[in-house]
């Protein structure tokens, strides 16, 4: 039987600088979803990468006095290195400077043109270099500093150029129909509302080519123009699965199940992208999820403010899984969140070191000492044992429900709440007291606890893959019995199985005097 396919993407980042915590956050969150679906038996394809064209790249390279391609490659390598450092399980790291991507971008352009949606005109308007977008006069404002700003708070300048246009205005009604018929197309709901009211207020045709620089995909048949970067950027999602060759085996992966992106680029993904695809006659993705922004102690990070957090340093300092755990557990996915030293220490010490780490450590070291280093014997289960195991039997279904709507924080919180119940169970059964009075019962309690740890570790893999894997190693769980299908009784810990010597998996963060 062929497995259900699941295609997930992150945005592709601009490699005009080094990756920051916002990029790391998006990769980690998308990775958690991808890992979850894989563990749930799906045939997952996960694509991330870099968006290397556009005027911003061109200008940054000029400022640094290096060729644009060199800037793109140097920083793109940093993004790829970050994906590895964050233990991201992507299947493809995509670069828009790849040759196949030129073919695909020109193909979608030609398909839109063949459909009568592209025409040549002149453009004059307020242009933001940062956003790579033109804005209507009414969307801009002149502030006290005398500078005119666009709706995203970036400076805009008046630009006039010959340009190709995409007939976006013709897609106003089809888009509104799409949002109505498929209420799940944009999530979370507040993002959907924003997009709908924007589209209802009227769509203007979109300028989709540039002549003022040449760093981009040439427009087919008119090489004086390069494509507006968003045309080729969005196309990465289909290039990656074989477009324009719709007979390619990879093409079966389209449509994507979810494009995970930040809230600042929802407009591009929920308006332009479906309009381009409708025009080109390509099926639409199933969902666009706009996550929130990560702020440093409530402030937006920026290079000029100097509070950009280096994600490599963060992972190194707190531990990668600690960092992943904090971001996924603390920030409701879809909302903004903020990071601080105190918050990450408090959260990871409480939930990981003192929570699951402590439960595993205490039960496994008792087993090592009292059960000859083997999985304990399982006597008849008492009602309390059955009760705690039953909580876990239902956990997959519940996580699955949360993950179907990308509520990563909820799926994770539910698993972690079970640790507290397991702690109460362990304290209540007090196996240390049973050691003398009823050693057989002690073994059953230890078996139950170890089995609970096994199930929790299976469920924690999407979020803290390395540490959860170590817990499963400590329980001698085979590599191919770690999926969600192995959570039940059929795969339960076999009494008498030799276990490796226990080791701490979630170290406690200890403050040092030098910070
Ligand atoms: O927008 N917190 O690239 P990008 C959370 N190339 N997410 C953040 C963030 C923050 N502080 N800052 C940025 C682009 N992001 C385009 C995308 S897709 C076809 C083209 C997110 O490098 C941002 O919302 O500016 C986006 O999803 C991703 O990081 C890349 O941002």
- Looking at the whole model, is its pTM more than 0.90? yes
Query: Each residue of 208-250: pLDDT tens digit?
Result: 999 989 999 999 999 999 999 999 999 999 999 999 999 999 9
Matching residue, tokens 């920030």 = 331
Task: Give the number of residues written for the chain.
Answer: 515
306 — pLDDT class (breaks 50, 70, 90): low
Supply the residue whose CA is at minimum distance from atom 18 of ligand 1: 11
Nearest to 336 by CA among 199, 152, 183, 188: 188
Number of Cβ within a 10 Å radius of residue 223 = 9
Q: How far is the CA of 354 from the centre of ligand 1 (A)?
A: 34
Q: Average the pLDDT over 6-32 and give the result.
A: 97
The maximal CA–CA distance of the chain, rounded, in angstroms, is 89
Query: How far is 170 from 172, CA to CA, in rounded Å?
Result: 6
The DSSP line for 401-429 is: HHHHTT-HHHHHHHHHHHHHHHHHHHHHH
pLDDT for 222: 97
pLDDT for 302: 54
Q: How far is the CA of 13 from the centre of ligand 1 (A)?
A: 6
Could you tell me if the CB of 469 is within 6 A of ligand 1?
Answer: no
**Kind of pairing, strands 5-13 and 218-219?**
unpaired
Query: Each residue of 54-81: pLDDT tens digit?
Result: 999 999 999 999 999 999 999 999 999 9
Q: What are phi and psi of 246, to 5 degrees?
A: -85, 5
Nearest to 254 by CA among 282, 274, 231: 282
Using CA atoms of 460, 466, 470, 473 in order, give the dihedral in degrees to the nearest 10: 90
Supply the residue whose CA is at minimum distance from atom 11 of ligand 1: 22
Supply the residue whose CA is at minimum distance from atom 30 of ligand 1: 13
Could you tell me if the CB of 157 is within 6 A of ligand 1?
Answer: no
Q: How far is the CA of 320 from the centre of ligand 1 (A)?
A: 21
Residue 168 to residues 246, 270, 282, 502, Cα–Cα distance (Å): 25, 13, 16, 61
To 5 degrees, how large is the angle CA 500–CA 411–CA 192?
150
DSSP label at 375? P
Query: Each residue of 469-503: pLDDT tens digit?
Result: 999 999 999 999 999 999 999 999 999 999 999 99
pLDDT at 515 over 50: no
161 — pLDDT class (breaks 50, 70, 90): confident
Nearest to 216 by CA among 449, 56, 84, 91: 56
Number of Cβ within a 10 Å radius of residue 152 = 15
Q: How far is the CA of 370 from the centre of ligand 1 (A)?
A: 53
Query: Each residue of 371-407: pLDDT tens digit?
Result: 999 999 999 999 999 999 999 988 999 999 999 999 9
Task: Please name each of the domains of the chain with its CATH number.
Answer: 5-110+209-291 (3.40.50.620), 117-207 (2.170.220.10), 351-498 (1.10.730.10)
Residue 47 to residues 73, 235, 258, 304, Cα–Cα distance (Å): 18, 13, 11, 31
Could you tell me if the CB of 262 is within 6 A of ligand 1?
Answer: yes
Query: How far is 328 from 28, CA to CA, in rounded Å?
Result: 8
CB 464 within 8 A of CB 348: no
Query: How far is 89 from 268, CA to CA, in rounded Å?
Result: 26
Burial 17-52 (b: 16+ CB within 10 A, else e): ebbbbbbbbbbbbbbbbbbbbbbbebebbbbbbbbb
Could you tell me if the CB of 217 is within 6 A of ligand 1?
Answer: no
CB 112 within 8 A of CB 280: yes
2 — pLDDT class (breaks 50, 70, 90): confident
CB 190 within 8 A of CB 232: no
Number of Cβ within a 10 Å radius of residue 123 = 20
Matching residue, tokens 């239902």 = 394
Both tokens of 465, joined, read 């893959």
Average pLDDT, the chain: 95
Residue 125 to residues 56, 139, 172, 199, 331, Cα–Cα distance (Å): 18, 11, 21, 20, 38
132 — pLDDT class (breaks 50, 70, 90): confident
Q: What is the ipTM of this complex?
A: 0.99
């Amino acid at each position: 039987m062929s497995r259900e396919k699941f295609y997930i993407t992150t945005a592709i980042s601009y490699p005009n600088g080094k990756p920051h915590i916002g990029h790391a956050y998006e990769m980690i969150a998308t990775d958690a979803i991808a890992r979850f679906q894989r563990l749930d038996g799906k045939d997952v394809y996960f694509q991330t990468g870099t968006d290397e064209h556009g005027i911003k790249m061109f200008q940054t390279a000029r400022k640094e006095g290096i060729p644009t391609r060199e800037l793109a490659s140097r920083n793109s390598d940093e993004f790829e290195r970050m994906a590895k450092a964050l233990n991201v399980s992507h299947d493809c790291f995509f670069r828009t400077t790849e040759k196949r991507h030129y073919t695909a971008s020109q193909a979608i352009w030609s398909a839109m043109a063949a459909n009568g949606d592209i025409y040549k005109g002149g453009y004059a308007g307020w242009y933001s270099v940062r956003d790579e977008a033109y804005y209507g006069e009414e969307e801009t404002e002149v502030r006290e500093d005398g500078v005119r700003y666009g709706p995203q708070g970036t400076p805009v300048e008046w630009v006039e150029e010959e340009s190709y246009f995409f007939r976006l205005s013709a897609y106003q009604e089809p888009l509104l129909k799409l949002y109505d018929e498929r209420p799940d197309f944009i999530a979370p709901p507040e993002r959907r509302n924003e997009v709908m009211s924007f589209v209802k207020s009227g769509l203007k045709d979109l300028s989709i080519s540039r002549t003022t620089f040449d760093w981009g995909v040439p427009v087919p048949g008119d090489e004086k123009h390069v494509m507006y970067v968003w045309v080729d950027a969005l196309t990465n999602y289909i290039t990656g699965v074989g477009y324009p060759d719709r007979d390619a085996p990879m093409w079966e992966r389209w449509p994507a199940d979810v494009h995970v992106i930040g809230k600042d680029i929802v407009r591009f993904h929920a308006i332009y992208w479906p309009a381009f695809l409708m025009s080109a006659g390509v099926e639409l993705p199933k969902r666009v999820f706009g996550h929130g922004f990560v702020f440093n102690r409530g402030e937006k990070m920026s290079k000029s403010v100097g509070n950009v957090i280096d994600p490599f340093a963060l992972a190194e300092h707190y531990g990668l899984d600690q960092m992943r755990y904090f971001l996924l557990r603390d920030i409701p996915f879809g909302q903004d969140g903020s990071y601080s030293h105190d918050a990450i220490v408090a959260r990871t010490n409480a939930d990981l070191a003192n929570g699951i780490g402590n439960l595993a450590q205490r039960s496994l070291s008792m087993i090592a000492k009292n059960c000859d280093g083997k999985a304990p014997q399982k006597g008849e289960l008492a009602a309390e044992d059955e009760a705690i195991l039953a909580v876990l039997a239902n956990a997959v279904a519940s996580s699955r429900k949360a993950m179907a709507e990308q509520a990563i924080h909820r799926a994770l919180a539910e698993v972690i709440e079970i640790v507290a119940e397991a702690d109460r169970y362990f304290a209540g059964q007090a196996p240390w007291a049973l050691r003398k009075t009823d050693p057989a019962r002690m073994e059953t309690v230890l078996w139950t606890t170890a089995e609970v740890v096994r199930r929790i570790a299976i469920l924690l893999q999407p979020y803290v893959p390395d540490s959860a894997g170590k817990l499963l190693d400590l329980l001698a769980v085979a590599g191919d019995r770690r999926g969600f299908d192995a959570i039940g009784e059929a795969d339960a810990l076999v009494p008498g199985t030799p276990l490796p010597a226990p080791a701490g998996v979630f170290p406690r963060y200890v403050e040092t005097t030098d910070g």
